[in-house]
Amino acid sequence: MKKTILLVLSIFNFLIVCSCSEDEKMKSIPYDISGEPLPTEQGADKAVMDIKRSMAIVDSSMLHYFKDGSTAMSRYYNPYTNTASSELGSVWMYTSAIEAVNSVMEALKNSQSAVPQLYADNFNRYAQLLEKLYDGLDYYKGSFTLTSYTQTKKWTAYAVDRAKEKGQANMEGVLNVYDDQEWLIREMLRSYRITGKADYLAQAEYLTDYVLDGWDCYPDADGNEYGGITWGPGYVTKHSCSNGPLVSSLVWLYEAYRTKDDKITYRKIDKNLNRYEVTAKKADYYLEFAKKIYAWQKRYLMMPSGVYYDLVGATANSPQFETVNGIRYRKGLALTQPSGTAYTYNSGTMLSGCSDLYRVTRVDSYADDAKNLVAATFSEFAKKDADVENYYSYPLSGFSTWFNDVLLRGYLAAEKQNIDAKVSIESYQNNLDYAWAKFRMDGILPVNLLLGWNLSSANNNVEAMFSFSYASEYAMLANYQFSNTSE
């Protein structure tokens, strides 16, 4: 009898494997891996549940993607084969781990009065983990000399790829991009706000100076700036991802200095192409730049549907230079037509940006933009009943799982300003809870939260940044639940 059962099972398993091609779409495993019931908690209880789940995902992810306590992050982990890839994550991917830890610490800090023991037991260990992650970030750091629109200067920033030694990463050409610095600026500022450590603020400001040195301040025929930040120093295309992410960070920098008289000196170009220095209060400088970048992206990259294009091209294929008064500078370039896929993160950063601008300026147009963008993004990206009845499916191609995390940030920022995004936010909560109850395996959630794992074990690699994004989302949702409870 036992032999007969084993034979039947073997045949069944053989048929499953043979029926799955390597590129087959994600399908649900025909049983619940976790076996937990869907949660019924509400309010503070749900917030505590969210924090605990966030911490559990962070802890599992650190174990699986950072083998043996290393600061080198594997790009993939497969819970079915218990293997991590030899390929390491880029600096952008690595930043997702910092984001997740920031989100956990933020949630713990905000819940301290409600659940003091949870805070006491965990906050310091995540603060230590945060410092370790920043220490590991130095393997992506490098230095190079850049000729920009206004100057030639040596900079130290972060390269795409990890080096074998700290501070030795290759920054030349297209090997560093501005959006990578912008995601880091955001997290450094969050770390500063959570811990109060001035070094995080100083690092964020330095990187902000580097990125704003890439703003195209070259005058057009009418004497106006071309505007926009290229994808990186080696590019001419100007992307939503190299502009929108900086808006909120600039608002946060404004808030850090609005009660102070600190000054900053920066460079500009006049209509005769002369370069000159300007000194201004930091608070004024940061807020005006936030408004300027936001306005530029809205003007050039918004689609008729209200969401955002990926990029806009230029009238040359590579950076152009000129010599003025014996000094070499980069030239600005006129724009072509916008193009590319409407990714969730490009709209998410603009939703966060206009929500933050509205918060500090109370200018109604920013609130109107936020309301319109909440509606446009949910209509564009959230598909009800597409995979599971009464649940909303979001894009999954490429890096969309992490992109969707950025859109949630936007919904939460809008909701804080009493701009209704509740249905959108709840859809994220429902999807995470569904996957936690049905598909959690080895502490990891699948790429497709609603359909689960692939029937072919080898096809279940999960990007590190996806796993950390789930942890961040759970922690951000905990803050949302606590804010609703306290109202």
Positions in the chain short of pLDDT 50: 1-32
- As a whole number of angstroms, the distance between CA 379 and CA 369 comes to 15
| pTM, two decimal places | 0.92
Q: What is the pLDDT of residue 26?
A: 37
Tokens linked to 3: 């032999």
Give strand ranges (E) for 249-395. 263-269, 275-281, 311-314, 321-324, 327-330, 335-339, 383-384, 392-393
Q: What is the pLDDT of residue 1?
A: 39
Tokens linked to 281: 């209060």
Angle (CA) 416-419-421 rounded to 5° is 90
Instruction: Give yes or no for a contact between 450 and 401, defined as CB atoms under 8 angstroms apart.
Output: no
Q: What is the pLDDT of residue 482?
A: 86
Q: How many C-beta atoms surround the C-beta of residue 102 within 10 A? A: 24
Nearest to 436 by CA among 423, 426, 449, 427: 449
Q: What is the pLDDT of residue 362?
A: 98
List, in sequence order, the alpha helices (H) in 66-150: 91-110, 116-137
Which residue shows structure tokens 């000094």? 327
The length of the chain is: 487
> In this structure, what is the dihedral angle of CA atoms 151, 157, 160, 162, given to the nearest 10 degrees?
140
Instruction: Give yes or no for a contact between 417 and 462, defined as CB atoms under 8 angstroms apart.
Output: no
Contacts of 7 (CB under 8 A, 6+ apart): none
Please state whether 365 falls in left (phi above 0), alpha (psi between -120 and 50) or beta.
Answer: alpha
Mean pLDDT for all residues in the chain: 92
Instruction: Give yes or no for a contact between 289 and 254, defined as CB atoms under 8 angstroms apart.
Output: no
Q: Going by DSSP bridges, is the β-strand pair 275-281/152-158 parallel, antiparallel, or unpaired?
A: unpaired
Q: Residue 229: in which H helix or E strand, if any?
A: none
86-144 per-position pLDDT tens digit: 999 999 999 999 999 999 999 999 999 999 999 999 999 999 999 999 999 999 999 99
List, in sequence order, the alpha helices (H) in 362-399: 364-381
